Structure 1
């Protein structure tokens, strides 16, 4: 089969012929239809410091996907050949304290699909049946392909109650844009999102952001946005999606007393924040990683069934043979989510 492989410990990816993945009694073999390109995949392609630490070559990349079940192991009961499925890309041990308590997203032994084991940038992928999500309701294939990052957005946005709240999102990457759409759909009063890319801010407006601020411009800042919206005490909920020190500091400065911050953005290095302000304003900061298995997946499906539209965040689609062009677009500041089509 064809697959996108990190064949060598150097920048680049290779489209290669590799054996179809094996599957055991508790596994599912999936014919891949569409995949989404993630920031993780971009890091591995460029072979930066994180990728050199996290990935052993050769490795088939990819963890955002939708496909059709091609075969199931003898012990699989709830997944059938022909089912349309996506996959939870965090494979957990099932035996640690958190796993046994039903908190699988907190497993300390998590292995990432497409990072620690061969992934879904291929014509077929194998997963444990426990990691397979069957789409019982009708869903757009491109949207189904990005359930993984959609789950990050939902997990972050729904960490705190949103009905009637004023929400600040720092970082208008694809997950930040999806989080803005989720927040509005879930009942937030105002959703303000910041970034330095006019293209991505325009996508955020289409997704439902009340205000989309270019913080590289001196024309209007977050405090100005508060005045424009008539906010007197600051934002109730913050969703930090950028991993940028200045974004986190701006967020802390603009939260109301007792405000709550969910932090998904992963910083490149340590940075300082004003902890005295966090303490004296009684601000809650919660770290977010991945999705709650599988509560977030239920929430995603219900949000889509309730009319949430994610299509504005998808800005490009390529056949897998054109992966270099797809990755180039995904790495620009002009794109939303980019899809690779494997159905051919």
Structure 2
């Protein structure tokens, strides 16, 4: 089969590799659509994080959907069977640590991630644990189904804590997950949504998807603009997706006293932060977000998508065969793509 193979250097190769075989408790999926994540870009670029984490050489990628073509021994047919259309929950939990045994598999302390710690899905066929398969409605478009995993990050971030209903919201970072979060906040009844990003294309898309006010931090005093828009109170909720130190500071400075912050963005390293004034004296509540709750968030995702509350196709910027992978990875790196979808079965 064709697969994107990653060696210990920048870039990737589309090569022929043996088709995998499912072992006990696993399924083999014919991959119909995959999407590119920020994590994949770290691996593709072979940056310091990737060098310290990714066990090259190996197939990478983790956001996917496809058809089950084979099940290994020990798979419960009531859970998943041949012919099912599935997406993958990419966090593979151990099942026996404290977190797993207390209903928090998404933060398993022995967590492995598809395409990061174990072979991935940028391929024509992929093996995943059966318990990580999410069975989709058969009429869900492949490209939509492939985005449910990252969309789950947006859902958990937005709905954490008190949620956003009737609350003012600041979204820092309008990459694909930030843009998805804007849709979730709008569908959940946020009273005001403000979004920040230095990319005008992304700000334009944020306005299309429901942001009431968009701010370019390169030309705008973000904190002043937020306070002006909220009658001097600041926002009730901060949704942080950028991982950028300046944006994080602006977000917390814009947060009202007693507000709630959900943090998904990952800084490149340690950052300086005014803990006393921005959290302690504000009595702010801060929630770190790691992936999706297994599988509470997936049920929320399904309702939002299948009932038309959000349109995941709105964040897709490219539909290309996997043979065109170099062009879309370069488009992402240059800031000229939002969410590319690759189709492994097309040439």
The two structures have a TM-score, normalised by structure 2, of: 0.95
Match of 1:201 in 2: 203
Which of 186, 189, 192 is the matching residue for 1:187?
A: 189
Q: Tell me the CA shift for residue 138 of structure 1.
A: 3.5
Question: How far apart in 2 are the matches of 1:306 and 1:192?
Answer: 25
Question: How far apart in 1 are the matches of 2:188 and 2:218?
Answer: 29
Alignment of 1:244-283 (within 5 A): 244-277=244-277, 278-283=279-284
Q: Tell me the CA shift for residue 205 of structure 1.
A: 1.2
Q: Tell me the CA shift for residue 284 of structure 1.
A: 1.0
In the alignment, is residue 16 of structure 1 matched against residue 15 of structure 2?
yes
Contact residue 84 and residue 138 of structure 2 kept, 8 A: no
Name the SS of the counterpart of 2:4 in structure 1.
strand
1:114-156 C-alpha deviation (Å, 9 max, x unpaired): 1111110001111111000000363222111111111111111
Match of 1:243 in 2: 243
Name the SS of the counterpart of 2:326 in structure 1.
helix
Q: Tell me the CA shift for residue 204 of structure 1.
A: 1.1
- Aligned alpha-carbon RMSD (Å): 1.2
In the alignment, is residue 140 of structure 1 matched against residue 105 of structure 2?
no
Alignment of 1:13-92 (within 5 A): 13-76=12-75, 77=77, 78-92=79-93
Contact residue 200 and residue 335 of structure 1 kept, 8 A: no
Which of 326, 331, 339 is the matching residue for 1:329?
A: 331
Q: How many residues align?
A: 341
Name the SS of the counterpart of 1:95 in structure 2.
coil
Match of 2:321 in 1: 319
Question: How far apart in 1 are the matches of 2:154 and 2:286?
Answer: 16
Name the SS of the counterpart of 2:239 in structure 1.
strand
Gaps of 5+ in 2: none
1:210-234 C-alpha deviation (Å, 9 max, x unpaired): 111111113x53422442x343311
Contact residue 93 and residue 111 of structure 2 kept, 8 A: yes
The two structures have a TM-score, normalised by structure 1, of: 0.96
Name the SS of the counterpart of 1:322 in structure 2.
helix
Gaps of 5+ in 1: none
Question: How far apart in 2 are the matches of 1:169 and 1:186?
Answer: 15
Question: How far apart in 2 are the matches of 1:53 and 1:296?
Answer: 30
Contact residue 168 and residue 238 of structure 1 kept, 8 A: yes
Q: Tell me the CA shift for residue 252 of structure 1.
A: 1.2
Question: How far apart in 2 are the matches of 1:292 and 1:321?
Answer: 33
Contact residue 328 and residue 337 of structure 2 kept, 8 A: no
| Displaced runs of 4 or more, over 4 A | none
Contact residue 170 and residue 251 of structure 1 kept, 8 A: yes
Contact residue 33 and residue 66 of structure 1 kept, 8 A: yes
Match of 1:113 in 2: 114
Question: How far apart in 1 are the matches of 2:52 and 2:103?
Answer: 29
Contact residue 222 and residue 250 of structure 2 kept, 8 A: no
Question: How far apart in 2 are the matches of 1:231 and 1:142?
Answer: 41
1:75-119 C-alpha deviation (Å, 9 max, x unpaired): 222211111100011111011111112210110111110111111
